[in-house]
Structure 1
Amino acid sequence: MQKIEKNYVFLENVRASVVVHGPDTKVIACNKAAQNLFGLTKEQMLGKEAIDPFWKFYNEDKSDMKQPDYPVNYVLAHKKELKDFIAGIHRPDREYITWVLIDAVPEFSSTGKVTCIIVTCMDITKLRQLEAERENLIKDLQHALGEVKTLRGILPICSFCKNIRNDRGYYERVENYIHKVSGADFSHTVCPDCMKKNYPELSTSMTKKKE
C-alpha cells in the first residue's frame, strides 16, 4: 500500500478532490481535498470499497442512487470514462447534500484490463444553491407578472357596493382582492370631498385652522 501511495504523492498538490480506486473498487490513494470533501481521514478512506455502506450517492432529483450507477462501478462495468457527472454525497455530519461534479477515468494494462480508476470531484454545492435561488426568483417574478396582468384586465365590480368578484365567483372588498393578487397593503383615509359630505362640521373646522 505504501508503494502505491508514493506513486500518487503528487495528488496532494491538486486542489480538486482526487480518489484512486483499484480494480476491486478499493481506495488505494486519496488527497487532502478528497478527505475534506467526504469528511474522512486518510486512514478511514484507504481500503474502502464501492459497496461500503458509508458511500451513499444521490441522483440529481435527490433520489437514492443505485450502486451499479456509482461512478467507479459504472466505469468498471462499461470500461469507459465518465465525464461531467453530477451526484449528491451523503455526509453524516451534514444536514444538507453535498453536490459534486465528477470525472472518473480508467487506466488500462497492456492486456486491456482496468488497473485503476481515477475519480476527481469538484464541490458545486454553492453553485447549485445559487441556481435554485435563481429559479425561485424567476418563478416569483413570473407569478408577479401574472398578477399584474390580472389587474390590467377587466375586473367585475359591483355597481353599488363596489366589491370585486373573484375567480371563485364570490364578491369581496376591493382592498382584500388587490392584496391577494399583488401583495399591496392599504391605509385608509378620507378625501376632502368625502370629508365635506360626511363630516361638514369637522371639514369647516379644519379649513378655518388652515386659514
Structure 2
Amino acid sequence: MSEKPSYEELEERVLNLEKAERELKKVEVLLKDEIYWRRLLVEESRDGIVVIDQNIKVFEANKKFADMLGYSMEEIHQLHVWDWDTEFTKEELHQMSQTVLEVGHHFETRHRRKGGTLIDIELSSNGIAYRGKKLILSVCRDITANKKATKEREELIQELKKAATEIKILRGILPLCSFCKKIRDDKGYWQQVDTYIDKHTEADISHSICPDCMKQHYPEEYKGICLEQDIPLPNE
C-alpha cells in the first residue's frame, strides 16, 4: 500500500490548488476583457463590417453595416451578398470569393439599401478561418458623399476651363474718344465700340436705343410710346 501523504503535504497541495484557481480566475477576467475589447472595436467602428461564408451569405455583421443598408440585425443575417450588391452577378461573386480567400481584395462597388436607394462603397476584404470554416471579412465604407463632392468639383473645373477658353479678357487701359466714343485698338485704328467688343470678346452685340436717344432722335415715336405705356412726359 502506498504511504498516505502527511498533513504538510496535503496542506501544500491545497495551497497549490488555491493558487491555480486564483490564476485561472485572472485568466478568465483577462479573456473576458479581451473579448469585450474586440467586440467594442467592431461595434463602435464607423465602417460597416460583415463576415461572409462560402455560400456568400452573412455569417456575422456589426450594427453599422445593418444600419448602412437599412436592415435590422435579424434581417441582415438572412441576406446574401447579391441581395445588396448591384455590380456583380451571383456567378461573379462566387468567383470573387475564391480570389478573396486566397489574396484578399480592395475595390469600389455599389450597394442597394432596403428602400432601394444606391450608395457607393469602398470595400476591403480578406479571407479568415474560424472553427474550421473559411470566411470572408469585409470592411465597407460609405463614400457616396465623397464621390458626389468629387464629381461636382470635376464638373466645376471643366466649366471653368471651358469658360477660360471662351472668354477673351480685356486688359489695360482702352483709349476712348471723348466725342465719338470710338476705341483705338493696339494697331492704332479707331473702331466703334460694338465692333471692338465683337472682335475682342465672345459677346454677341444686340443693338437697341436708350430712352434719352429715343427722345432726342425720334421725338414723335418717343411721345407715342410714353402715351401708350402711360408714362408722364417730361414737360407735363
How far 1:186 moved relative to its partner? 7.1
2:109 partner letter = A
Cα distance, 1:200–1:14 mapped onto 2, change above 3 Å: closer
> Is 1:100–2:121 an aligned residue pair?
yes
How far 1:195 moved relative to its partner? 6.6
User: 1:16-165 residue pairs with structure 2 within 5 A?
Assistant: 16-51=47-82, 54-58=83-87, 65-70=88-93, 73-77=95-99, 79-83=102-106, 85-95=107-117, 97-108=118-129, 115-149=134-168
Secondary structure (helix, strand or coil) at the match of 1:33 reads helix
Q: What CA RMSD, in Å, does the superposition of the two structures yield over aligned residues?
A: 4.2
TM-score by length of 1: 0.58
Question: Is the Cα contact below 8 Å between 1:106 and 1:114 reproduced in 2?
Answer: no
How far 1:109 moved relative to its partner? 7.1
1:66 partner letter = T
Question: Is the Cα contact below 8 Å between 2:125 and 2:136 reproduced in 1?
Answer: yes
Cα distance, 1:190–1:48 mapped onto 2, change above 3 Å: closer
2:85 partner letter = K
| Percent identity of equivalent pairs | 22
Unaligned runs of 5+ in 2: 1-34, 172-190, 223-233
TM-score by length of 2: 0.53
1:50 partner letter = V
Secondary structure (helix, strand or coil) at the match of 2:148 reads helix
Secondary structure (helix, strand or coil) at the match of 1:18 reads strand
Deviations 1:96-127 (A, max 9, x none): x20011001111479xx862111111111000
How far 1:49 moved relative to its partner? 2.9
Higher relative contact order, structure no. (Cα contacts within 8 Å, ≥ 6 residues apart): 1
Q: Give the aligned partner of residue 8 of structure 2.
A: none
Which of 44, 50, 60 aligns to 1:13? It is 44
**What number of residue pairs does the alignment pair up?**
160
